[in-house]
């Protein structure tokens, strides 16, 4: 079966050549999937896509006209796919629901530690023979209250690590996860979570309900100097409100692995270009902001799982069976 792999990077090619079933014929396409690039999938039966590929109704319609019958997401989140349109067109959609929650959880904790202990600054200082400690003062994680919004696979993996640090866990989700309660985490309403948490970390999906969950109003309800971490999806927070929160010192630390307009930026080397996004560039001016370019998933173990499960999803489609990873059958 021929599969057009959009937004393909070297590590995708390496992963699929090493771990995917050899009966699948992957055609690697550097471009993102958008209305302007759908024609590159001509002659294929399926497309394989990542977080910033666009699968809105118009794109799906074009893909359907080209004979595409399946969308294989090589990620867990699916906010970029119009599932209703796919269903109406008879296009099957499958994802990799849990390739490595620990990969994202560990990056989340890495961001917390780096921001708190200012490791990014210490690294540069010591290389410059500057061993002064002024400006590097941190705080103990032990005994601090961490608010987790979203306690599915990644939220739980994050909670397990934080519990090891001796943190108090306040959690919020629309469905309680018993494993969180077993760990000692307590489910609370958002108001209590905002009012009490020293650190808030987002692990819920982007949906119409969660878009701009973090806005001026919710930021106002947080503790002064709060640490805010988003490794989930950019549009969970309103970046302009967050900039205001940083300017007013309400937000003491900000860690982002995702950004609402990241499709125009992330996964490419733009170091020789002028970046037009003033909001993004403003965020980068703050000394207490750490941004990584959607790399939380990026571990060897996760890439192996992604290529294997994507391969299984495609083979199941080819043999008219299912894997349980289907969002639209
Ligand atoms: P999951 O489905 O296991 O868990 C998500 C949790 O969020 C569920 O428990 C769900 O009930 C909860 N939720 C849904 N709506 C909510 C709401 N309105 N308020 C509070 N909680 C709500 O998903 P997961 O595997 O833990 O992944 C979470 C998110 O992480 C994904 O949706 C994706 O956006 C993001 N992600 C990011 C990376 C990265 O590299 N940065 C990698 C993988 C996933």
User: Does 48 sit in the ligand 1 pocket, CB within 6 Å?
Assistant: no
* Rounded distance between C-alpha atoms, residue 256 and residue 49, angstroms: 23
User: Does 232 sit in the ligand 1 pocket, CB within 6 Å?
Assistant: yes
Distance in Å, CA 149 to ligand 1 centroid: 9
> Among positive and negative, which fits the CA dihedral 94, 235, 141, 169?
negative
Determine the atom of ligand 1 nearest the C-alpha atom of 297: 40
pLDDT of 21: 83
User: Does 132 sit in the ligand 1 pocket, CB within 6 Å?
Assistant: no
pLDDT of 22: 84
Which of 238, 151, 250 has the alpha carbon at shortest distance from 201? 151
Q: Which are the catalytic amino acids?
A: 233, 262, 294
Q: Please indicate, yes or no, whether residues 172 and 231 belong to a single structural domain of this protein.
A: yes
Domain containing residue 212 = 101-291
Distance in Å, CA 204 to ligand 1 centroid: 3
Q: Please indicate, yes or no, whether residues 219 and 75 belong to a single structural domain of this protein.
A: no
User: Does 153 sit in the ligand 1 pocket, CB within 6 Å?
Assistant: yes
Q: Please indicate, yes or no, whether residues 84 and 149 belong to a single structural domain of this protein.
A: no
| pTM, to two decimals | 0.94
Q: Please indicate, yes or no, whether residues 63 and 22 belong to a single structural domain of this protein.
A: yes
Count structural domains, the chain: 2
Q: Please indicate, yes or no, whether residues 306 and 220 belong to a single structural domain of this protein.
A: no
Which of 302, 273, 241 has the alpha carbon at shortest distance from 106? 302
Per-10-residue mean pLDDT for the chain, 329 residues long? 96 89 92 97 97 97 98 95 98 95 98 98 98 98 98 98 98 98 98 98 97 98 98 98 98 98 95 97 98 97 94 95 96
pLDDT of 20: 78
Q: What φ, ψ does residue 142 adopt, rounded to 5°?
A: -55, 125
């Amino acid at each position: 079966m021929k599969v057009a792999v959009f937004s393909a990077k070297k590590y995708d090619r390496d992963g699929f050549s090493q771990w995917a079933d050899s009966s699948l014929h992957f055609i690697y396409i550097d471009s993102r999937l958008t209305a302007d690039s759908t024609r590159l999938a001509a002659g294929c039966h399926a497309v394989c896509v990542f977080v910033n590929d666009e699968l809105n109704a118009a794109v799906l319609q074009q893909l359907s006209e080209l004979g595409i019958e399946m969308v294989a997401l090589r990620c867990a989140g699916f906010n970029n796919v119009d599932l209703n349109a796919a269903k109406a067109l008879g296009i099957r959609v499958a994802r990799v629901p849990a390739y490595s929650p620990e990969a994202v959880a560990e990056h989340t904790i890495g961001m917390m530690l780096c921001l708190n202990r200012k490791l990014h600054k210490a690294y540069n200082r010591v290389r410059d023979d500057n061993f002064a400690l002024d400006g590097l003062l941190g705080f103990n994680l032990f005994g601090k209250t961490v608010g987790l919004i979203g306690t599915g696979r990644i939220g739980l993996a994050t909670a397990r690590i934080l519990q090891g640090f001796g943190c108090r866990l306040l959690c919020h989700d629309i469905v309680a996860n018993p494993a969180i309660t077993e760990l000692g985490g307590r489910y609370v309403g958002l108001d209590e979570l905002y009012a009490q948490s020293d650190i808030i970390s987002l692990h819920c999906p982007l949906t119409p309900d969660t878009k701009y969950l973090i806005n001026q109003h919710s930021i106002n309800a947080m503790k002064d100097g709060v640490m805010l971490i988003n490794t989930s999806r950019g549009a969970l927070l309103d970046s302009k409100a967050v900039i205001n929160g940083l300017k007013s010192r309400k937000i003491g630390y900000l860690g982002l692995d995702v950004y609402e307009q990241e499709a125009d930026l992330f996964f490419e080397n733009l170091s020789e270009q002028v970046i037009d996004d003033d909001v993004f560039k403003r965020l980068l001016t703050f000394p207490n902001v750490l941004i990584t370019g959607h790399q939380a998933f990026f571990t060897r173990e996760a890439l192996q799982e992604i290529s294997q499960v994507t391969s299984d999803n495609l083979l199941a489609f080819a043999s008219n069976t299912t894997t349980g990873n289907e969002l639209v059958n």
